[in-house]
A and B are shown apart, each in its own frame.
Chain A
Amino acid sequence: MAGMLYALVALGFVLIFKASGVFNFAQGAMVLFAALAMARFSEWLPKWLGFESLLLANVLALIAAIMLMAVLAWLIERLALRQLVGQEPIALLMATLGIAYFIDGAGQLLFGSATYKIDVGMPKDPMMVLEGTFEGGLLLSKEDLYAALISAMLVICLTLFFQKTPTGRALRAVADDHQAAQSIGIPLSRIWVIVWTIGGIVALVAGIIWGSKLGVQFSISLVALKALPVVILGGLTSVPGAIVGGLIIGAGEKLSEIYIGPMLGGGIENWFAYVLALGFLLVRPQGLFGDKIIDRV
């Protein structure tokens, strides 16, 4: 479960990194922002418009949240990224850190900083599977299963979008080479807005899944930091890498907590992922599925 969330957040990282070469530290803040927007809109919209239906409220809130993320993407592109074209990657990284702070503050200022719940009608009761195969079976949460399905669908949609549509092709061209893409007439700034919007939508999905399980609160934005080792493990430029890396880290940290944790006094969940990524970096710096890093002088 945790692994899948990491994978979703990591997916946002990878998408933006591939298309714009920006390592987006603000992804976690965007998850928080999107989840807060979703939670609060689904609470406010019925009040403003005067209807009761939960489904309608959720659908409208989803649309509103997507629109908000698009506006946010546009603002980020217009006010920050456009001004920073051609700066070193480190400057861009720090700019996204600044953006993360800004979004954190803005989200909580606009939507409040308490814990909110998102109710999209996911079933909460657990179910047993594979009881025939071995004794006792496996205890699965239906919610997790649905979440996994939603994520899988999201990934499929994204892959189709990237492979089949003209916009997707343009996005891949930009990812390959900014200048070449620009010289054949692909509008760079529009592409960036689209990428950041997609990043925002991925963030929204992650936020909804997380929020409906544990409630929306500030700690969501810390998940983003966990997504860093995931991206490192999977490779910075690989979508499947993000998914596999997320699952490895999610499972790895739970297992390590159970099996190695007691020996070290517990609580190693918090740093295990990083140390795993660190060890991995020493062996294979480009990650599981990443492009090979080539040094040029």
Chain B
Amino acid sequence: MLYRENGQFKQTYRTDLQIFPVLQDRIAIYALLAVAFVAVPMLASDYFFRAVLIPFLILALAALGLNILVGYCGQISLGTGAFMAIGAYAAYNLQVRFDLPLLLSLIGGGLAATVFGVLFGIPSLRIRGLYLAVATLAAQFFTDWFTNRVKWVTNDSPSGSVSVGALSFFGVPIETPAQKYLLCLGIVCVFALLAKNLVRGAIGRQWMAIRDMDVAAAVIGIRPVYAKLSAFAVSSFIVGVAGALWGFVHLGSWEPAAFSIDRSFQLLFMVIIGGLGSISGAFFGAAFMVLLPLLLNYVPHWLGLPLSTATASHLEHMIFGALIVFFLIVEPHGLARLWLTAREKLRLWPFPH
């Protein structure tokens, strides 16, 4: 009833090309942004910021980057953790050695990850699918070793862990969780808009053509080298920035283990559960992944069942695994597709014909 687009005529090309062509969608997204930027910082508690909102935003950003690579360009990557690590350590080194401001070190981290990503993306020109997964695993294990063993990376810190000092953004000190949250939210919004416009445009079409069948795409005049490497570059830039944010804003001080292969798998699951090849899917997937462990912690508590942490973590593993298989069977396109289906239904409701 409310969600109805009758009478919304598109009279210019501009209106036809809008990201949200339906008025109600636009209202909803503005309302969501208003809530996120204004209401949430006033209402949420510090714990909620630290345990839920900040990880959610940063992981959503990383999943967004990965989704460009896996969901749009069809190049499977198991090395996302490595790209995050490169971003984080590069940003750290830029800040410590050159005293760059926060924004510049974040971007520098992203650029370092881009270079690294393109380097490990080169094999994708010759191989694909499973073989590429192994190539990206090489990136993962190489980075694990690199950040662990090469002392220069961690600025010769004896324990191998690094920590960043006080953060400030254009002179404004960022101390409280709410400020950190706003910083992350701002960056995530910018990147989401950027990514959405990229995948709508010519380059996004090229990625999707490569994903659907790369030989055929090459035949119709898409250069696979350019399309694949640009997907690797954009994806690892976003993932690198996410990694830098994860280190700087969420963790504060971290060890190489923060970006281990588990993180890579976790991000891949987010993208699958959220929905391959959709921007909103990254957010759904991240929300799911952040909330599920919390839920699994709280539910036995509410039910009065005492569960040891070991049992809980094994159960979590099992539920994750089962849910992934379940999602692949029931809805291979993930939560984002469920949301689309619901919207289609809503357009006709309450008169389905």
- A residues in contact (CB < 8 Å) with B: 23, 79-80, 83-84, 87, 89-91, 93-95, 97-106, 108-109, 113, 225, 228-229, 232, 236, 264-268, 270-271, 274-275, 277-278, 281-282, 285, 295-297
Contact = CB atoms under 8 A, between A and B. Distances in A.
Contacts of A99: 321, 325
Majority SS at the chain A contact face: helix
Given A94-B328, A103-B321, A105-B317, 14 more contacts: A79-B325, A84-B328, A95-B329, A101-B318, A105-B318, A109-B311, A270-B145, A271-B145, A274-B138, A278-B135, A281-B127, A281-B134, A281-B135, A285-B131
A208 B67 CA distance: 40
13 contacts: A79-B325, A94-B272, A97-B268, A100-B321, A102-B317, A105-B314, A109-B314, A225-B261, A228-B133, A228-B137, A271-B144, A271-B145, A278-B134
Instruction: Give me the 8 closest cross-chain CB pairs, A-B, nearest first.
Output: A102-B321, A105-B317, A98-B324, A101-B321, A274-B138, A105-B318, A271-B141, A83-B329
Contacts of B269: 97-98
A296 B214 CA distance: 10
A91 B328 contact: yes
B76 A93 contact: yes
A281 B131 contact: yes
B126 interface: yes
Interface string B312-350: 001111111111110011001000000000000000000
Nearest to B148: A267
Interface string B55-77: 00000000000000000001010
A281 B317 contact: no
B138 A95 contact: no
Nearest to A109: B314
Given A97-B265, A295-B215, A109 B145 contact: no
B219 interface: yes
B21 interface: no
A113 B311 CA distance: 9
A274 B320 CA distance: 27
B219 to A, nearest CB: 7
Contacts of A266: 149
Contact of B317 (A83, A101, A285): A101
Interface of B: 74, 76, 123, 126-127, 129-131, 133-135, 137-138, 141-142, 144-145, 148-150, 213, 215-216, 219, 261, 265, 268-269, 272, 310-311, 314-325, 328-329, 332
Contact of B129 (A83, A90, A274): A90
A265 B149 contact: yes
Contacts of A278: 123, 134-135, 138
Contacts of B219: 297
A113 B314 contact: yes
A268 B272 CA distance: 32
Contact of B142 (A97, A271, A282): A271
A112 B345 CA distance: 47
B130 A282 contact: no
B318 A102 contact: yes
A296 B133 CA distance: 21
Nearest to A229: B134
Contacts of A89: 129-130
Given A95-B325, A278-B123, A267 B138 contact: no
B133 A225 contact: no
A285 B127 contact: yes
Contacts of B141: 270-271, 274
Q: Which residue, B138, B269, B311, B329, has most C-beta atoms of chain A within 10 A?
A: B138
A270 B145 CA distance: 7
B130 A274 contact: no
Given A102-B321, A297-B219, A87 B126 contact: no
B145 A274 contact: no
Contacts of B317: 101-102, 104-105, 108
Given A101-B321, A268-B145, A93 B315 contact: no
A278 B315 CA distance: 35
Contacts of A100: 321
A225 B323 CA distance: 22
A275 B138 contact: yes
Nearest to A222: B261
A274 B126 contact: no
A274 B321 contact: no
Contacts of A270: 141, 144-145
Nearest to B120: A278
A90 B310 CA distance: 31
Nearest to A101: B321
A79 B126 CA distance: 35
A228 B134 contact: yes
Nearest to A88: B332
A64 to B, nearest CB: 21
A229 B78 CA distance: 14
A95 B325 CA distance: 5
A99 B216 CA distance: 33
Contact of B130 (A23, A80, A83): A23
A80 B76 CA distance: 21
Contacts of B148: 267
B168 to A, nearest CB: 35
